[in-house]
Amino acid sequence: MAQPACEYKPGLEGVPVAQSSISYVDGKEGILKYRGINIEELATKSTFLETAFLLIWGRLPSKQELDDFQEDINNHRRIKYHIRDMMKCFPESGHPMDALQTSAAALGLFYSRRALDKEEYIRDAVVRILAKIPTMVAAFSQMRRGNDSVKPNDDLNYSANFLYMLTEKEPEPLEARIFDVCLMLHAEHTMNASTFSAMVTASTLTDPYAVVASAVGTLAGPLHGGANEEVLTMLEEIGSIENVRPYIEDCIENKKKIMGFGHRVYKVKDPRARILQQLAERLFELTGHDEYYDIALEVERVVAEKLGHKGIYANVDFYSGLVYRKLGIKPDLFTPMFAISRVAGWLAHWREQLAVNRIFRPTQIYVGQKDGVYVPIEERS
C-alpha cells in the first residue's frame, strides 16, 4: 500500500475532515459562533427553532418562513403507533439513549430515502426529525414508568411542549425559555465525535434517520454527551463543600478525569458553561436554591487552581445537569436532551455534506503480522 499522505494522529486531533461554514470556535478566546453570530447573542435573542433554521439553511428565516417552519414541526410532533408499540417493548431498565437510537433508526422504516438531491425531501426530513425526536424521548420516559405517552399539546411551543410531555405539567414561561436556551447552546459545535459520525454515515448517501441514529449512538458515550449525567453523580459523591478538595486531589493523583472539565478545543472556560451558569442562577431564583450548586462552584474553584495551568476549565456539561435537574429531568435523560438539541447541528452537517459529497474512506497504518500461518484447530495449543 502507498504511504499515507499525512502523519497518523490518534483521535484525528487537528486533522481537518471537512470545510464547513456552520459554526466557528476560538478555543483560546472562548468564542462560539453559529453562522457568524455569537452564541451569547443567539442565547438572548433567538429561539431553538430559529437557531436550527439558521444552522441548517445558513441564514436567519423571515417571519413567514419561521412561522411555517414552526407550524410544520407542530404538525409532525406525533409518532406513529407502530413506533409507540415498538417502544413499549423496550426494557424499562434500558438507557434512554439506546431507546432513542433505536426509535430514530426506526423512522427510516416509514419514510422514503431516495431523493437526497431534492430540497423538499431534505426539508421534510429535517421537519420530521426535529419534530419527533423530543416526542420519542418523552414517550420512552413515560413508558418505562408504565404510563402511556403524553400527546403533544398544540398550544405550547417546542420547548414548553417537550417539558409538558415529559413531566405532564405545563412549565412556567421562564422554565420553558431556559430549556430553549439550553437547546440553542448544545445545537452545534464544529467537528466533534457525533457530528463526524453523522457525516461519515451521511457520506454513504444513506437516509437521514440512519445518519441521526449513528450520531445518537456516538453521543451516548461518557467522553462526549454522557458527561453531564456523570457530573451529577460526581457532585452527589462529593456530597459536601468540605469534601471537594480531597475529592479533586484524589482524582488528579489517580489520573481520574473530573467530569464536566476539559475540552479538546477550549483552553478557557467554555462560553456555553458561562451562559448555563447564569441560567442556573436565574432558575434557582424561581425554584429555590440548590445545594449542589454550592458544591459545583467549589469544584470549579479547586479545578481552576489545580488544573487551570493545563487549560482545563468547566465545559458545557458542567452546569447543564444542574439546570436539567431543576427542570424535573432525570439524570439518565440528560444526554437525550443533548441529542434533542444537537440534532440541529447534525442535520446542518448532513445537508452541507450532501452538497459536496465524497464517501469517507480514510486509510490506516498496518502494524500486524504479514506472514501469518493457518494452523488447523487440532494442532493449536
Is residue 224 within 8 A of residue 192, CB to CB? The reply is yes
Annotated catalytic residues are 263, 317
184 binds ligand ACO (CB under 6 A): no
Pick the stretch among 16-24, 219-227, 347-355, 368-376 that binds ligand ACO (CB under 6 A).
Answer: 219-227
238 binds ligand ACO (CB under 6 A): no
Give least dist CB 310 to ligand ACO, A. 5
356-361 long-range contacts, Cβ below 8 Å, gap at least 24?
356/19, 357/202, 357/203, 357/205, 358/203, 359/203, 359/204, 360/17, 360/199, 360/200, 360/203
Give least dist CB 277 to ligand ACO, A. 15
Is residue 144 within 8 A of residue 92, CB to CB? The reply is yes
CA distance 159 to 181: 9
By CB neighbour count within 10 A (0-12 exposed, 13-18 middle, 19+ buried), where does 74 fall? middle
Among 262, 271, 336, 345, binds ligand ACO (CB under 6 A): 262
Cell of 83: 413506533
Of the pair 161, 277, the CB lying nearest ligand ACO is at 277
Of the pair 10, 362, the CB lying nearest ligand ACO is at 10
Give least dist CB 100 to ligand ACO, A. 17
Query: How far lies 374's CA from each of 377, 378, 380, in Å?
Result: 9, 12, 10
Among 109, 115, 223, 286, binds ligand ACO (CB under 6 A): 223
Give least dist CB 318 to ligand ACO, A. 7
Give which of 216, 238, 375, 223 is closest to 295, Cα–Cα.
Answer: 238
306 binds ligand ACO (CB under 6 A): no
Pick the stretch among 28-36, 37-45, 98-106, 308-316 that binds ligand ACO (CB under 6 A).
Answer: 308-316
185 binds ligand ACO (CB under 6 A): no
Among 45, 310, 370, 380, binds ligand ACO (CB under 6 A): 310
CA distance 133 to 118: 23
Pick the stretch among 64-72, 73-81, 221-229, 323-331 that binds ligand ACO (CB under 6 A).
Answer: 221-229
Residue nearest to ligand ACO (CB): 262
Give which of 92, 55, 32 is closest to 271, Cα–Cα.
Answer: 32
User: How many chain residues touch ligand ACO (CB under 6 A)?
Assistant: 18
Give least dist CB 126 to ligand ACO, A. 22
Query: How far lies 285's CA from each of 271, 291, 326, in Å?
Result: 22, 13, 11
Cell of 116: 437526497
CA distance 332 to 234: 14
Give least dist CB 321 to ligand ACO, A. 11
264 binds ligand ACO (CB under 6 A): yes
Fill in the per-residue mask, 241 to 260: x = in contact with ligand ACO (CB under 6 A), - = not in contact: --------------x-xxxx
324 binds ligand ACO (CB under 6 A): no
Maximum CA extent, the chain = 75
Of the pair 66, 268, the CB lying nearest ligand ACO is at 268
Phi-psi region of 191 (alpha: psi -120 to 50; beta: other; left: phi over 0): beta
Half-sphere exposure of 300 (CA within 13 A, CB side): 20
Helix (H) or strand (E) run with residue 181 in it: helix 173-186
Q: Give the angle 155-156-159 at the CA atoms, nearest 5°.
A: 170
Helix (H) or strand (E) run with residue 26 in it: strand 23-26
Of the pair 275, 312, the CB lying nearest ligand ACO is at 312
344 binds ligand ACO (CB under 6 A): no
Give least dist CB 329 to ligand ACO, A. 17
Among 33, 84, 128, 263, binds ligand ACO (CB under 6 A): 263
198 binds ligand ACO (CB under 6 A): no
Among 100, 127, 295, 312, binds ligand ACO (CB under 6 A): 312
Q: Which residues bind ligand ACO (CB under 6 A)?
A: 223-224, 227, 255, 257-264, 307, 310, 312, 315-317
